[in-house]
Structure 1
Amino acid sequence: MTKDIKVIAFDADDTLWDNEIYFREAEQAFKDLIQPYTSATNIVDTLFNTELQNLPIYGYGIKGFTLSMVETAVKLTQGDLPPHITHQILDIGKSMLNRPVQLIDGVESVLDALHKDYRLMVATKGDLLDQQRKVKQSQLMQYFKHVEVMSDKKENDYRQILQQQNIAPKEFLMIGNSLKSDVLPVLNIDAHAVHVPYAITWLHEHAEVPQHPNFLAVEKITEILNVMR
């Protein structure tokens, strides 16, 4: 795998720092607010379906999630959502946006080792302002030559990055926690991918583990050094 690789891209959320755990905590707080009106299962299912329907409009990230919570609450209260609950939902979203960045164990040591021999970059998706905030607060920018915040992570999105950065597919390695977003589309353009699982994965990001010569799965991010050195 390492023979031709010159550029290593890292996903951000749940690869460099914690993220999904905060969405699940917010979902629980939302359930607690709305449960007087319906069952917990109905709340979770309706919120998930609302999020999926809104992805083409809002994209990924906390702001879209917050709007989907408000919309879900309106649906489940049959349009009779008390104003104070609306404010509490908005407060849930704001608290997520104000969360300090918590690096995943081993991340900085991996970046410190790899940036001496490879060109490193961030390739993430989500809300531009929020992702820029997290990159800045992470204090990891010293290791990266480029940060790309994408609206989605599909084959054409990766092709555009490679073209813009003048990278051949065989020279590119993507490291991330999502098989659907960080692995499969990268393998489909003949680049390389490493899957590093996170403890929690959003249902929308689930996918089958591929069988591909350019694919590697590890248990934790520090195992990357065993492969790339």
Structure 2
Amino acid sequence: MKTAIVIPARYASTRYPGKPLAELTLPDGSRKSLIQLTWEAAQAVAGDHPVLVASDDDRIRTAAERFGAEVVMTPETCRNGTERCAAAVEAAGLDADVIVNLQGDAPLTPPWFIEALIDEMARGRARVATPVLRCDAVTYGHFVEDRKAGRVGGTTAVFGTDRSALYFSKEVIPWLDPAKIDPDNIPVFHHVGVYAYTRDALSAYGTLPEGTLERLEGLEQLRFLENGWPVTCVEVDARGRVFWELNNPGDVARIESVL
């Protein structure tokens, strides 16, 4: 099974313009951009997988090529990362059976998250798969804190016993009674913004109509669910590491503290 990793990165983010080029301070005092840290995370995945940065902005292309990334330019009309991945696969003539979409704002993504997705796709049952991570007390607190402050933070997922996704939301779901929360067993799953698609599923995505829920939530994966395509949730283990995406400028300090 041939696998490729594509990192979609656009400059014109609504909540955080220029986000891929935002620099984070490392423990030794050096600074690296978000896109470079994400590219380095992709390089750590086991196996021989080509890694491409897909962008529509020359500033991102220049920065990515400077640290050694292969860049594919994609149209500005791509509405989300999945559409940009599909455009990159076509533009690059990429020969891959499975394409992993590692969004450019997730430098804390451990390699074993992506390896678990690749293993799931290799079983041949899933056409779209994505990781979910059970929240610990700290991460759940971040979710609740963001929502109380009116900020859109991470995304949560709910899924059935067969691991097929039921819904994804920027709200914290399911609702929990604060008086009954067991901090050692919180039934809220953080959706990790990584996807693996079969080639046909990725190609089909652009032909599917944008749904109401996708538009309201601003979550690209809901297009699959609204059009009857199952999305398999793969539970992963953080192994003691903290995972968080860079969604808002305030997340820089959170991620730097983890780094």
- Larger helix fraction of residues: 1
Shorter-chain TM-score category? 0.3 to 0.5
Larger Rg: 1 or 2? 1
Which protein, 1 or 2, shows the higher relative CO under an 8 Å CA cutoff with sep ≥ 6? 1
Normalized against structure 2, the TM-score is what?
0.32
